[in-house]
Structure 1
């Protein structure tokens, strides 16, 4: 099973690394990192990942995983990336997006009229591109699965693992990761965080 992890300049590392660590260790999975061209791809906070294959050399995928970016407005203007997503997604059994990655799928015309989630700060932008925006942490609709902000990519990948294999396998992966979050603060949701923090982050995200 080819699981293609999409890389592009200024993407958010955890959006792709979380799902990668969740899915790539399964014996059925052949992980591939794809980008516009083979070589290093720099993430928005400086981490560099490496693309194994270029977009032009990859025309199909069994599973497609699309990360978001704190600079998502810039990514929306990447015509090569958007066109490639529009072309390859129909070949995939599953297309998954994390955080603002769902805005890329929407720009590619893949979420029109379909329920999807994204980072809370860009829900309006996702709706403007035709999606039926939901607030759940993970949304499954047909062959598309979307996750809310950054850390929700792990939840999304565990949900996908249960679909691809079974719940026992997904739970085993969760235990192997020791994914049992107990955050020190109760501010991980826009509904619970202090208003001044919400305002500051909304401004940061919507300014691209």
Structure 2
């Protein structure tokens, strides 16, 4: 009998739901997979999309995971100095086969001290902040460095899911999952990266995101300082 593959995806208030549900949909189809949606309590967790997701387990009840995944979202800022969450991630990372993230979830891994010396992806707008934690920012959709696997911004979580699936059960099984989900994207616009969107559109979007950028910078600086203090 095949041992189950325990896959855990962190939830938190104001999580970007596709960061979590994209990988969850893909990885739920891995043979033997058991997907756990994890938070501190079993209360519904509000996402940034106006609906909530029900956790399936808590930090205290969560089994030892083969894969731990941290998604991103506006609520990631609060997690940067949330000792309970960071301690949970550190404990799981000690034995997990793969320590992973999507979007700004990589900053949370960084705050937990789990990315020092590792290459990592992140959403393009916040990618350079990874350097605060000794990580190496990489402008790629999915980045693999040893047992760290990270996806870039939001929709990259789906590609990330197939990458992790291939690691767990092989490329052929991952290709079959891709076919089952009919994942054959042909977007109506070719504007999904700063390079393709053009400088003027990127400038306008950065101006709109300026308050969030400042919040993330402050949270990053505080988290990096705490990590440095703990190491000294």
Q: Considering the TM-score relative to the shorter chain, is it more than 0.5?
A: yes
Q: Partners of 1:76 and 1:113 in 2: how far apart?
A: 19
TM-score (norm 2): 0.85
Q: CA deviation at 1:46?
A: 1.5
Is there any run of 5+ residues in structure 2 with no aligned partner, and where?
216-232
CA positional deviation for 1:97: 0.4
Per-residue CA shift, 1:90-113, capped at 9, x if unaligned? 221111100000000011000001
Which moved further from structure 2: 82-91 or 41-50?
82-91
Highest Rg: 1 or 2? 2
Quote how far apart the aligned CAs of 1:59 are: 5.6
1:12 aligns with one of 16, 20, 44: 16
* Conservation of the 8 A alpha-carbon contact between 1:76 and 1:107: yes
| Structure 1: gaps spanning 5 or more residues | none
175, 182, 186: which one pairs with 1:178?
182
**What is residue 194 of structure 1 aligned with on the other side?**
198
Asked whether the equivalents of residues 119 and 149 of structure 1 are also in contact (C-alpha less than 8 Å), the reply is yes
User: Partners of 1:108 and 1:25 in 2: how far apart?
Assistant: 29
Q: Which residue of 2 aligns with 1:154?
A: 158
Maintained 8 Å contact 1:69/1:75: no
Once residues 196 and 73 of structure 1 are traced to their aligned partners in structure 2, the CA distance between those partners, rounded to angstroms, is 27
After superposition, give the CA deviation of every residue in 1:88-137 in whole Å (9 maximum; x if it has no partner).
11221111100000000011000001100100000121111211111111
Residues 59 and 28 (structure 1), Cα distance of their counterparts in 2 relative to 1, 3 Å cut:
closer
Contact 1:39 1:52 in 2 (8 A): no
Which residue does the alignment assign to 2:43?
39
Question: Which secondary structure state, in structure 2, belongs to the residue aligned with residue 186 of structure 1?
Answer: coil
For each residue in 1:143-171, what CA deviation from the matched residue of structure 2 results, as whole angstroms up to 9, or x when unmatched? 11001000001111101111111111111
Counterpart of 1:91 in structure 2 is 95
Distance (whole Å) between structure 1 residues aligned to residue 114 and residue 80 of structure 2: 14
Q: Displacement, 1:57?
A: 2.2
Alignment of structure 1 residues 43-62 onto 2, 5 Å: 43-58=47-62, 60-62=64-66
Contact residue 86 and residue 108 of structure 1 kept, 8 A: yes
TM-score by length of 1: 0.94
DSSP 3-state at the match of 2:86: helix
RMSD of aligned C-alpha atoms?
1.5
Is residue 2:31 matched to residue 1:64?
Answer: no
Counterpart check, 1:117 vs 2:121: yes
Distance 2:58 2:76 in 1: 21
Aligned residues: 208
Task: Render the CA deviation track for 1:48-90: whole Å, top value 9, x for unaligned.
Answer: 0011111122262111111111343233233321221122112
